Structure 1
């Protein structure tokens, strides 16, 4: 019988659990009843608060209606109807003084300019309108309007009630009563609400006009964030929010359809929940006492049963310890059957123990074999990495004198073999690309390909790659700038590989398009390289990005390549968080390779820095055990106007350095008597603080080699073959 996993219970705990399960329906029913009662209580409380808010809203509307009626009656006075504004100023001043909480009356024309204020003599200079928004609404709607509460220059809060006035001669005015919020506060204070409730009246812009608690402190302030959210949810309703004192409250509100003001009634959530909490505590106490009594009874019953099982427990312990199992007979039928089963299990245990020993011995042999295989795999991987590093070094070393010789012939201006030099340059570039592809695919397979991700201009990278393309007619359609998150060197490699593929299979022409693709989260940049060449069949499309896979070719292999370029493209794009795909209508109908990359925010492109020139007469020490490469590079440097000394070993280099008459040193790493890292340290010591620029010129070009060169004190690392521009950059001031 297989072992059972999960929670195990003693008999006592099982009986207690059964007792607790018996109480579970009662507890659930009681909890449901409490929740239903709480829900009913909540709805009743919300209804009561909402009715209070509606009553207060009606009272506030009545105050506004009274103010509007008083202003309308004032506008019908003979002085106003006759257009005698000076006489009407005196009438308005008397009427304002007769109204409690009226601070004054303001008459404005239809353009919003103040005609007079009863708070100042007639003809006094006009002051800016405190609430131009409500004045504009009164003119536009031609209806009474209640404005927003604002504080005047003296800091006293007030709000306007505005009534449009049209005279018999067709002229229009707006008559406004400036009212103190105390008028609305008195409406609130007449309500009999619990002391911990908060009642507030908000104007049309959600500013407090009056508040039952701390009115003077918070008047004219903006509503809290939670209250604003409730007020924007509809004309009236209820919900949870927090007061300006950060107290959690249940809030009911209603907004006047006529005047646009809102009345808010809030009750502390804690006081609303306390009655329900009391009922829940009483119910829980009763349930706990009943459960405790039942548990005590179950405990007494379980003890009697457990004593009869303890003998079986000791027998089971003996079975587990591998000792003989002795089970005393019992009058309980089930316990007797369990004892017999224990004895049978002991016999089976002995047989299984023997089988287990044999199985463990076999497993140990298998583990030892697996560990040996893993060690061999690790050793093979290390040997592969070393082989590729040496392969790159050995293949780049012969390329270096070839490139140097070609550059030297270009510097001399030889025209007789110009075509042949172009052929040599193309073949050298092709061989260098094959070496780089081999090393890149190795780094990708081992997870050592690192990217320097930052915002880069994909359009500029495309323009540079198109300008650098040789032997291929390329058209480019790209915006002025398109920023993506990427490594510019690797993205240039992606486009270079795609253009190289188009050069081999695209019939000599290609089109590069850079656009933005909509519909993707965050936006994507699309880079497409299209040609009208050989095209691809569906089976080739499915495998075109696999390493070392190529379309069937003739024995001459005119298109060349190792089948690594597109595999490297796919991995680099995926490391950028992008996607690459190939499309073709079929053989002979051309191909399109599409790259999608995440967009980045636009960056400011710094102006290009001018390249520093190489100082004429610069004293350079060139150290390389490849005599052909050393001689060709030395002649090229001499043609640049530099003073060059050549050494083929580290010993010769130290002797040539002499008393420090060298400004820069180009050092090969793989020297016969001392590696370039040790030579760099020796030259630094010999320089004794004098300026000396050290450049590593080597066939080892992996990331670890570059880091090791930097740690050894090199200022720059160049991978063979180094071009003329590379040498100029390395030796620039």
Structure 2
């Protein structure tokens, strides 16, 4: 064998002596590693596999075996780690292999071991040992990292504020961290072990678990039970508990399903988070918001009352002027009758009625908007008429200049818009301590918008005040009331699709409120009422018999006298009881009802009359604003007339009827007779 190279010679020896090498290697290893408890076959089997691979590589790959066999040996290091070998044990194992290989080779060669074979054995075993040691070290480092991670995870799980439990497919809780016990106030053994219905039900009862609404919390409501049933995550379930040791808690729970690699459900992880402080702060915030709304409501009522007081003062001035005109005209009529005096009186009464109507509209507590197409300039003039007395009174009356360019219509609530203009006029007036000038300008801004500019001659707004002007929570002295009013106005304009801004006038004198609203395009006029009805217009024949019901006899008699001169057969009733008696005794084509009477209201009487005679014409006559009535109540009557009454409009209404005239029955009263207190002839 001296003529062959060392690799071939070593391969030939190992081919014949493979079993002896494996047996001697295992025996030598057992002697040196007596502390390692590994069965003999488990100790020899991996050695025999390594030797088989070495023989194959020496025969097939020749010199490449020096490079390939260490790679084959590499997993052996991880294998010995699992058998609890120490690093020193692994080094002894390969030292033993080196000694055995040299001994067996020398014996086969008659005690001769060539240096080149010895070097080959030394190199093969050294590379294999280094590879196995590297594998062992890598596993050792990995296990160290795992150990540290496990230690950290254990520390986190047991010391964090979030509790974690693991639920199995059958609903049993197999694991729970210490915070679960702390948050619920019960021992871990009460939660872990049995199925949820057995373990969780007593726990929920013990801690008086309930939903935030007060409804008892059941086991089926637990997120992990729902996640098991629905196979999906369940988030943000709130539960309130009363811990046995004292103290209530609000817990937020979430559950996440765990899936196997094959897509099968393996279980559910549920978390518990203490939200007690957050829930308490939420309740406190809700209470504070309710209190803020109440205070803002009070403040708004106060500022509204203040505005009404200012309007009432100005309206009193205007009414006194009107009444003075009435008195003077009456004096002139007593001296000499002239038709122009009557015309002037009629115009003055109309002006007084318009003023009272606008005051009532301003004072009404609106709960909903009634959007209509409104001419902007008309509303501005009406608001200015309401404010004129307030603006002109005092030692330093204000001058008002109108620059109205008739920009068109807007689709808004006319009453709200009138209030809005009045509020801005008051705010502008309050900025001028002495006599000054208010300028009201309307114009069209392009094709899409109209603008109203209310410009005063007061001091310019400080730059820092412009941003806070509409802040209802500003702390500046005297500012909250006006700021709240302006904030309400700004919000109202925004709901109409517009904007309210404030700016300083160029030149450094005065400021201006600017209201911009969408312009109503031409052709967007409101359809006539008749064209919107699903049925044809209701045509009426002439009405002959009219019942007037009013507890104010002066008003009732004047109404009867005027209608009598127009050709109507009128009877009077001073209250609802008398009106119902008259209605039963004869047929009436129409009834004019006062809205406010001592016994029952005109609306209730209208309901009764409508049930008895559905086709009769019914109208309410009132000096009050009727927008507080709901739609079903308004639907009881055919018309509403505001005092002072337009006689022409009333005659046009009464000259209609949808039932043919009927002959009076024998039991009816003779025409013109009235019954009840204050009836003619009584």
Same fold (TM over 0.5): no
Normalising by structure 2, what TM-score? 0.37
**Highest RCO, 1 vs 2 (Cα 8 Å, sep ≥ 6):** 1
